[in-house]
Chain A
Amino acid sequence: AQTVTQSQPEMSVQEAETVTLSCTYDTSESDYYLFWYKQPPSRQMILVIRQEAYKQQNATENRFSVNFQKAAKSFSLKISDSQLGDAAMYFCAYRRLAYGQNFVFGPGTRLSVLP
């Protein structure tokens, strides 16, 4: 079974600074998807970024980028120029490649942004 681990229950960053959230996962599959989701106090799950394991290039979305290390099964999220609105729970998630597969989520990291 696949598992996702986030070893940082809480992180904080100063506004405008950069922060990196860690994620490791375990799978025997060679192709899969990895995701970072943001959950603000409203509890809505918001997709931040997605990475296909068969792509060597790291995904980027504006201020958000990932460092995907397939051999190490590591998938960290870097947030640049942090903003107050980035404060939220961040969940790393894994999903198998086949259509109709469910997410496997990590336990989350609570990010605080200090003014």
Chain B
Amino acid sequence: NAGVMQNPRHLVRRRGQEARLRCSPMKGHSHVYWYRQLPEEGLKFMVYLQKENIIDESGMPKERFSAEFPKEGPSILRIQQVVRGDSAAYFCASSPSNPLGQGATLYNEQFFGPGTRLTVL
């Protein structure tokens, strides 16, 4: 059973270009979380998605950043017109659906992918 997969592992972009980061959750998982880790800092939450829905985007910058998790295929984190400050490691984590229904208290393990390291020149 493959773990959470992210690609590319390393991405280099010039200022003003677009960056697309992909996250394939573990098999059977329908929840995806994206985190950003700036150099020498901890991970910061960006967005939480379920299939075809954005549940919580409170950590997403208001401009240039967007995320989607379509019915088929991986989750995509898209950064338009990248700037040097976007250079960071971007991690996704996935978890399965709650069999007791959304909001019910049940521990859910979240599994992290290996991250994508974005460098903006």
Contact = CB atoms under 8 A, between A and B. Distances in A.
Interface string B52-95: 00011001000000000000000000000000000001010101
A20 B108 CA distance: 27
A99 B103 CA distance: 5
B105 A98 contact: yes
Q: Is the interface of A mostly helix, strand, loop or mixed?
A: loop
Contact of A103 (B102, B110, B117): B110
A97 B105 contact: yes
B35 A103 contact: yes
B95 A104 contact: no
B77 to A, nearest CB: 15
Interface residues of B, number: 30
Contact of A45 (B41, B55, B91, B107): B91
A12 B65 CA distance: 38
Given A99-B104, A105-B35, A107-B42, 4 more contacts: A45-B43, A52-B107, A100-B55, A100-B98
25 contacts: A4-B42, A43-B114, A43-B115, A44-B112, A45-B43, A45-B93, A45-B112, A97-B105, A99-B98, A99-B103, A99-B104, A99-B105, A99-B106, A102-B35, A102-B45, A102-B56, A103-B33, A103-B45, A103-B110, A104-B45, A105-B42, A106-B42, A107-B42, A108-B41, A108-B42
Interface of B: 31, 33, 35, 41-45, 48, 55-56, 59, 89, 91, 93, 95, 98, 100, 102-108, 110, 112, 114-115, 117
